[in-house]
């Protein structure tokens, strides 16, 4: 009995000692100034810093997405709407607005997956159909600090405006129903594969994820402007000239509307280019500055060339030049310094003016609103000049096996990059020409492309939508 009491007493004493030891240990671990407390505080601070960066990047990207959407409506709608005759202003603006709705639905259903899903070298897979798996968690392959859904909606805005640019070539003569079918098919057959090749996982031209021909295209020189501009030329040639062109004068009905639209495009383009940094950091600043400098220089270049040739600079020339500069700097914005950006813009302003004033007149095609002369020509020029002026100091995108930074462009010592740029431009041209021709033929033989001549003379506002942009009341 005595042994049992001693055994129980010993066990209780041991338990008490163990409990006291654990309490002392816990108090020591949590004591202010201890190593454990310091580590816990550092971990908490690191998490707070990461959360703050993620919030800042996400805020910038959502703002950029809104800016890019503003480029389509009201920017492009006003710019193109002012350039047509007043009987077609609503029909032209409605094309931009309709794409904001139709392409959004297509993007959510299938196009995002085809453009950015993991697939082969030419097209994405189907794992993200209906936005499956696209949620709050970041996709580290694209942007590690923002939700995948933010990246998705930002890229959607590019998919909306790109086909909208084509409408400038067939303005005033394509049926609204044909336009809708054409744009849906074009987005799937031309835009989605090109976006995947340049920006998607495993893409043939992807410079950041090891593509076979790494093409530098920061914000869409090939993906957006070359494809839309070249497709615009194909559309203009396939549909033929407007009734009365070029004998009948067809001046813009409101340069005022176009002026406002161009200014909105200039502002929105900061979301287009600086937003393509996919973070609120120094690269976004560099792209922002390059974008502004190029637009300003191009406006001077176009207006100056026009001044020399015609004796006076026009408002339309100035705003067209700014857009040409914005187009040309788009692929280069995140790779070049301010002075090369200025030079790219100046060259683009003069070159695109020459394409519109001389080349278009020489060959006689009816590119109604100069979509090819500005976007096709400017995008091609900008993509090639990116391979000349890109520097690793702005964006160290190329690295060797040891992680050391490699030269980016020709002037930095990477002459081969110019060939990669040429490969990207060539693929964009071929895809746009072949894809657009096939789609135009399909739409033409099924529902028809062009409005009847009497409806074209009447105007698209009344013939396609049953309303007018302007109601002039008779004076008393």
pLDDT in tens, 106-120: 999 999 999 999 999
Whether residue 269 is contained in a domain is answered as yes
CA dihedral 291, 292, 296, 297 (to 10 degrees): -50
CATH number of the domain where residue 292 is located: 1.10.3430.10
Q: 166: closest CA among 375, 475, 443?
A: 375
Place of tokens 């494809």: 227
Q: Looking at the domain assignment, is residue 98 inside a domain?
A: yes
Is 42 within a domain?
no
What are the residues whose beta carbons fall under 8 Å from the beta carbon of 68, sequence distance 6 or more?
154, 157, 158, 161, 268, 271, 272, 275
Q: How many domains, the chain?
A: 1
Question: In the chain, helix, strand, coil percent, each to 5?
Answer: 70, 0, 30
Helix 192-199 and helix 148-166: axis angle, to 10°?
Answer: 130
Q: Is residue 28 part of a domain?
A: no
Q: What is the pLDDT of residue 160?
A: 98
* Alpha-helical segments (H) within 31-76: 35-70
The reply to whether 225 falls in a domain is yes
Q: Is residue 20 part of a domain?
A: no
Residue 348: inside a domain, yes or no? Answer: yes
∠ at Cα 364 (324, 256), nearest 5°?
Answer: 45
Q: Assess if residue 162 is contained within a domain.
A: yes
pLDDT value, residue 47: 79
Q: How far, CA to CA in Å, does 183 sit from each of 160, 191, 274?
A: 10, 10, 27
Q: Can you give the pLDDT at residue 130?
A: 98
* Closest residue by Cα to residue 386 from 353, 351, 430, 419: 419
pTM of the entire predicted model: 0.91
Place of tokens 């079918």: 181
Does the CA dihedral 301-305-306-311 come out positive or negative? positive
φ, ψ of residue 139 in degrees (nearest 5): -105, 105
Q: Which of 124, 365, 330, 59 minimizes the C-alpha distance to 218?
A: 330
Residue range(s) defining the domain that contains residue 206:
54-465
pLDDT by residue for the chain (476 residues), tens digit each? 555 555 455 544 555 555 555 554 555 445 566 777 778 777 787 778 777 889 999 999 999 999 999 999 999 999 999 999 999 999 999 999 999 999 999 999 999 999 999 999 999 999 999 999 999 999 999 999 999 999 999 999 999 999 999 999 999 999 999 999 999 999 999 999 999 999 999 999 999 998 999 999 999 999 999 999 999 999 999 999 999 999 999 999 999 999 999 999 999 999 999 999 999 999 999 999 999 999 999 999 999 999 999 999 999 999 999 999 999 999 999 999 999 999 999 999 999 999 999 999 999 999 999 999 999 999 999 999 999 999 999 999 999 989 999 999 999 999 999 999 999 999 999 999 999 999 999 999 999 999 999 999 999 999 999 999 998 664 44
């Amino acid at each position: 009995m005595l042994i049992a009491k001693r055994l129980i007493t010993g066990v209780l004493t041991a338990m008490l000692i163990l409990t006291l030891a654990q309490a002392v240990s816990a108090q020591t671990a949590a004591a202010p100034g201890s190593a454990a407390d310091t580590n816990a505080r550092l971990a908490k601070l690191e998490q707070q810093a990461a959360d703050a960066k993620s919030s800042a990047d996400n805020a910038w990207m959502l703002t950029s997405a809104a800016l890019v959407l503003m480029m389509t409506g009201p920017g492009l709608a006003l710019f193109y709407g002012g350039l047509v005759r007043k009987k077609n202003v609503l029909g032209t603006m409605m094309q931009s607005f309709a794409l904001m709705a139709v392409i959004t639905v297509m993007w959510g259903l299938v196009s995002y997956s085809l453009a950015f899903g993991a697939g082969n070298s030419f097209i994405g897979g189907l794992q993200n159909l209906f936005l499956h798996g696209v949620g709050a968690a970041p996709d580290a392959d694209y942007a590690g600090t923002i939700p995948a859904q933010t990246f998705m909606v930002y890229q959607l805005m590019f998919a909306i405006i790109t086909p909208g640019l084509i409408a400038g070539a067939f303005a005033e003569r394509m049926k609204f129903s044909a336009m809708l079918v054409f744009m849906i098919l074009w987005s799937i057959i031309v835009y989605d594969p090109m976006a995947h090749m340049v920006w998607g996982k495993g893409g043939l031209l992807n410079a950041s994820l090891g593509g076979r021909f790494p093409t530098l295209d920061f914000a869409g020189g090939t993906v957006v402007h070359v494809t839309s501009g070249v497709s615009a030329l194909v559309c203009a040639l396939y549909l033929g000239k407007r009734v009365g062109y070029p004998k009948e004068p067809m001046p813009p009905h409101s340069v005022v509307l176009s002026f406002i639209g161009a200014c909105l495009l200039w502002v929105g383009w900061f979301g287009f280019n600086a937003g393509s940094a996919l973070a609120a950091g120094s690269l976004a600043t560099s792209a922002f500055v390059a974008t502004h400098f190029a637009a300003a220089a191009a406006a001077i270049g176009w207006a100056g060339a026009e001044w020399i040739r015609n004796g006076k600079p026009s408002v339309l020339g100035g705003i067209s030049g700014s857009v040409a500069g914005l187009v040309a700097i788009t692929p280069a914005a995140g790779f070049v310094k301010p002075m090369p950006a200025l030079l790219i813009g100046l060259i683009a302003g003069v070159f695109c003016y020459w394409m519109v004033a001389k080349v278009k007149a020489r060959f006689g095609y009816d590119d109604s609103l100069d979509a090819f002369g500005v976007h096709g020509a400017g995008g091609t020029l900008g993509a090639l000049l990116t391979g000349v002026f890109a520097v690793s100091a702005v964006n160290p995108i190329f690295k060797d096996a040891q992680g050391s930074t490699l030269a980016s462009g020709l002037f930095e010592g990477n002459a081969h990059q110019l060939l990669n740029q040429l490969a990207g431009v060539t693929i964009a041209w071929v895809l746009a020409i072949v894809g657009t021709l096939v789609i135009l033929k399909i739409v033409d033989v099924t529902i028809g492309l062009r409005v009847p001549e009497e409806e074209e003379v009447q105007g698209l506002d009344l013939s396609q939508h049953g309303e007018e942009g302007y109601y002039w009341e008779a004076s008393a």
